[in-house]
């Protein structure tokens, strides 16, 4: 019994590194097949094209006139004019700058969605791997309990014990089978979720252990590293920069726009040709836009600061939780290795020193600790998933 359990936990350690490679491939595969990301990417491409529509000169204006007259000097007057408008925001590059920052904001929006998808994949994978490990442990426990039940049945048939001992063993066996069925149902639901994320293509994940990179020794150093690359923080920063650029654009839009053109007027015996200049003074259209732009800057700055504060404290909480769970999982493993009574219990039971009920009760304590160890490791990997989703590497 002890050999089986030690073999089980040792195999989990060996398979951890392989699981990490399979997780990397899993994330890459789902990111490639995910329909939500694909639709968002197409939507963003269309939005970028829409953003660029305003970065162009106004359409030129052409006017042609034919005017007839009556009288002694009757004839036809021919008018022709061509006019092209210009504005300072376009010539100064303010419009182009705003469009580039709007497009950059869209890119960060895509990165945020990609980060959320990666997080969901890792959380789902951690739960599936936990269910795989739990089912594997329960299957081994079921196998051992079935052997005990067969032994009790043979003893009962030989008159060495009573029927209650047999029923207790069979009841325990049924309980374990029910736990296996419940775990399999949960695993199937999680795999279905991964399949949906994978664009409807089936996903298989049979790993029974996963490993996570070492937790950074110092939170402040790690946070300083990811602060400038985290999609949510970058989105908030770029949103503020965009609001500043929009205010500059609004200020430049208060300057007059102008047009230049060519004018020709021909009458019988006379022709007039020349250049026309026009000025459009925005006296009324931009009266309150500067106040609106300044308000938007204040709002974006408030959002940026709030995002920084909330993100930092949230990540620090997750960081501390991951550290605590890592230590708790280590404590469970050491306790299971150092306080293993399974060998003694087996000998005592075979020697008739303890009853089957006492044996099942005592061995249940060990399995309860083993299951808690698996649960704690799952929770640790879930906490690490929230940290790992922030960085490009898994």
Mean pLDDT within 322-335: 89
> Which among 225-229, 294-298, 342-346 has the top mean pLDDT?
294-298
pLDDT given at position 170: 85
Look up the domain containing 262 and give its range: 2-388
Q: Say what the pLDDT of residue 148 is.
A: 79
CATH number, domain with residue 96 = 1.20.1600.10
Cβ contact 218:297 at 8 Å:
no
pLDDT of residue 107: 94
Q: How far apart are CA 234 and CA 227, in angstroms?
A: 8
Asked if residue 85 lies in contact with residue 58, where contact means CB atoms within 8 angstroms, the answer is yes
Q: What is the mean pLDDT of the chain?
A: 84
pLDDT tens digit sequence for 193-218: 999 999 999 988 999 888 877 787 78
Flag whether 192 is in a domain: yes
Half-sphere exposure of 147 (CA within 13 A, CB side): 8
At which residue do the structure tokens 């795989």 appear? 132
Per DSSP, the three-state class of 264 is strand
Give the 3-state secondary structure of residue 60. Answer: coil
Three-state DSSP class for 10? helix
pTM: 0.81
Instruction: Say yes or no to pLDDT of 73 above 90.
Output: no
Strands 61-68 and 270-280: unpaired
Check residue 71 and give its pLDDT.
Answer: 64
d(CA 275, CA 81): 9
Q: What percent of the chain has pLDDT over 70?
A: 89
pLDDT digits (tens, 9 = 90+) for 140-162: 888 878 877 787 787 777 776 66
pLDDT (mean) for 330-337: 85
What are 127's two structure tokens?
Answer: 């739960």
- pLDDT at 5 > cutoff 50: no
Report residue 3's pLDDT band, with 50, 70 and 90 as the boundaries.
Answer: very low
Whether 295 is in a domain gets the answer: yes
- In this prediction, residue 13 has a pLDDT band, given cuts at 50, 70 and 90, of very low
Name beta bridge partners: 257.
280
How far is 133 from 9, CA to CA, in rounded Å?
A: 10
pLDDT of 392 over the 60 cut: no
**Assigned token pair, 327:** 């230590």
Q: What is the pLDDT of residues 158-201, one digit of tens each?
A: 776 667 777 877 888 899 999 999 999 999 999 999 999 999 99
Q: What is the mean pLDDT of residues 264-270?
A: 83
- The answer to the question of residue 205 being in a domain is yes
Q: How many domains does the chain have?
A: 1
**Does the pLDDT of residue 125 top 90, yes or no?**
yes
Residue 38 has pLDDT above 80, yes or no: yes
Please write the tens of the pLDDT for every residue from 86-108: 888 888 888 889 999 999 999 99
In the structure, what pLDDT confidence band is assigned to residue 121 with cuts at 50, 70 and 90?
Answer: very high
Structure confidence at residue 117 as a pLDDT band (50, 70, 90):
very high
> Which tokens in the block code for residue 261?
């053109």
What is the H or E stretch that residue 76 is in? strand 76-86
118 lies in a domain? yes
Instruction: With respect to residue 394, please indicate whether it lies within any of the assigned structural domains.
Output: no
Higher pLDDT among residues 358 and 333, named by residue: 333
Distance CA 304, CA 132 (A): 42
Q: Answer for the pair 55, 154: CB distance below 8 angstroms, yes or no.
A: no
The residue that leads in pLDDT, 172 or 355, is: 172
Residue 49 within any structural domain of the chain: yes
Asked if residue 393 belongs to a domain, the reply is no
d(CA 59, CA 48): 21
- Under a CB-based contact definition with an 8 Å cutoff, are residues 165 and 155 in contact? yes
């Amino acid at each position: 019994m002890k050999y089986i359990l030690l073999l089980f936990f040792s195999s989990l350690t060996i398979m951890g590194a392989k699981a990490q490679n399979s997780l990397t491939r899993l994330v890459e595969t789902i990111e490639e097949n995910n329909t939500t990301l694909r639709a968002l990417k197409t939507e963003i491409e269309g939005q970028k094209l829409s953003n660029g529509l305003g970065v162009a000169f106004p359409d030129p204006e052409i006017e042609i006139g034919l005017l007839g007259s009556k009288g002694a000097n009757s004839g036809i007057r021919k008018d022709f004019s061509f006019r092209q408008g210009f504005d300072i925001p376009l010539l100064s590059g303010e419009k182009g700058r705003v469009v580039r920052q709007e497009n950059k904001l869209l890119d960060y929006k895509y990165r945020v969605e990609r980060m959320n998808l990666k997080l969901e994949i890792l959380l789902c994978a951690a739960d599936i791997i936990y269910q795989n490990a739990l089912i594997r442990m329960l299957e081994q426990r079921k196998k051992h309990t079935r052997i005990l039940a067969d032994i009790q049945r043979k003893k009962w048939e030989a008159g060495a014990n009573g029927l209650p001992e047999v029923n207790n063993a069979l009841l325990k066996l049924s309980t374990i089978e029910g736990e296996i069925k419940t775990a399999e149902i949960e695993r199937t639901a999680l795999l279905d979720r991964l399949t949906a994320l994978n664009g409807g293509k089936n996903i298989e994940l049979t790993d029974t252990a996963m490993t996570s990179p070492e937790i950074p020794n110092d939170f402040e150093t790690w946070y300083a590293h990811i602060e400038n690359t985290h999609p949510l923080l970058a989105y908030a920063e770029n949103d503020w920069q965009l609001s500043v650029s929009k205010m500059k654009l609004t200020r430049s839009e208060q300057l007059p726009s102008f047009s230049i053109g060519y004018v020709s007027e021909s009458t019988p015996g006379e022709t007039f040709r020349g250049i026309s200049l026009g000025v459009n003074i925005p006296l009324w259209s931009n009266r309150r836009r500067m106040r609106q732009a300044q308000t938007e800057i204040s709002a974006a700055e408030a959002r940026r600061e709030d995002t920084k504060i909330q993100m930092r404290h949230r990540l620090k909480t997750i960081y501390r939780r991951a550290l605590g769970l890592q230590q708790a999982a280590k404590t469970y493993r050491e306790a299971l290795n150092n306080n293993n009574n399974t060998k003694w219990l087996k000998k005592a039971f075979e020697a008739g020193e303890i009853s089957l009920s006492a044996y099942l009760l005592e061995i249940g304590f060990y399995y309860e600790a083993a299951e808690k160890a698996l649960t704690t490791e799952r929770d640790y990997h879930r906490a690490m998933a929230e940290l790992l989703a922030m960085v490009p590497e898994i």
